[in-house]
Amino acid sequence: MASQDDGKSLNQIGEDAAGVTHKDARKVDVFQAKRYPITPERLPLLNELIVGVYWPHRARDLEVLLQIGGGYLALDEVGRPLSSAMKFTYGSDFAMLGMMITAPRLQSLGTGRWLLDRIMEECSGRDLRLSATRAGYRLYEKVGFEPVATIRQQQGRASAIYLPEPVADTIVRRAGDADWPQILALDLHAFGADRHAALSVLDGKSECLVAETGGQLTGYAMIRNFGKGQVIGPVVAGSDQMAMQLVAPLIQRREGQFLRLDTPVEDSPFSAFLAAAGLGVFDTVTEMRVGPHRRAMDGAVIYGLAAHTLG
């Protein structure tokens, strides 16, 4: 719970914040709800929502998300969190939406839709993408999102593996500062939008490997702390074999540790390789979009998301 040692209620904190007006209030059931920007001071309230739906995020993960994007919390009259929604803008014409959570007991009262409408209004003119849970799928469909792919959440304690057969003339090595322009170019092609600002934040918290073929970078993979272990992602590669070659050393060095990788690649050697390494399919979400399908389908493609929320 957020501290109130300064003598202010959570409502007073919200009302002192710039940009909170009467249009940010609405009646919900028998009480009044208000909509506030997510700030570092309000992250404990976002964490309350996360605990209620059993998502794995820790305080450090929320801090990273707030460095990359922004969003809103709906609070009731005594400062309890009702719903949340965040946006992550990439370039001038694209945004990921995420962290759309409503307390389970309140999912029929409309606070989630209220925040989503605000986020979508602010993203007007941009192509949008999100990862929809089963609980949220119908809402996103109603506001115009179309399904794109199934994202597999593969996770577990890493088991002993053998390194896969390498791609011909391809080496995997640690990334250096000089590799950054090629990493960004690979990611732009694979993801379909410019997320250099987000990758800059993740790079400061990640180990990064690159695949190099004939002096050119042809793939990359990051790993960082997340949830109750570590998450591998983003992963960009030109083939299943290259993706396995990139990910294998990251898994091999963490035998016995809890790892997660979210992949849009279905029924592939890559997915089977992860399962054999102890990262079985735990759950799935549906990737959805408003606007064209931007993610590359050939060449360097996305094998691992940065996160459900970040794409």
Cα–Cα dist 279/156, whole Å: 5
> What pTM does this model have?
0.89
Average pLDDT of the chain, as a whole number: 90
Q: State in Å, rounded, how far the first CA of the chain is from the last one.
A: 29
- pLDDT, tens digit (0-9, with 9 covering 90-100), for 219-260: 999 999 999 999 999 999 999 999 999 999 999 999 999 999
Q: How many CB atoms lie within 10 A of CB 143?
A: 12
Cα dihedral 99/104/110/111 (nearest 10): -50
Q: Where are the domains of the chain?
A: 10-125, 153-304
The reply to whether 10-125 and 153-304 are identical in fold is yes
**13-17, 44-48, 185-189, 249-253: the lowest-pLDDT one:** 13-17
Which CATH number is 10-125's, of 3.20.20.60, 3.40.630.30, 3.60.150.10, 1.10.645.10?
3.40.630.30
User: Which of 95, 79, 86, 78 has the alpha carbon at shortest distance from 38?
Assistant: 86
Three-class SS of residue 55?
A: coil
- pLDDT, tens digit (0-9, with 9 covering 90-100), for 101-137: 998 877 767 889 999 999 999 999 999 999 999 989 9
**CA of residue 253 relative to chain centroid, distance:** 24
Q: Which CATH class is domain 153-304?
A: alpha beta
User: Do β-strands 170-174 and 146-157 pair in parallel, antiparallel, or remain unpaired?
Assistant: unpaired
Q: Is the dihedral of CA 38, 39, 45, 50 positive or negative?
A: positive
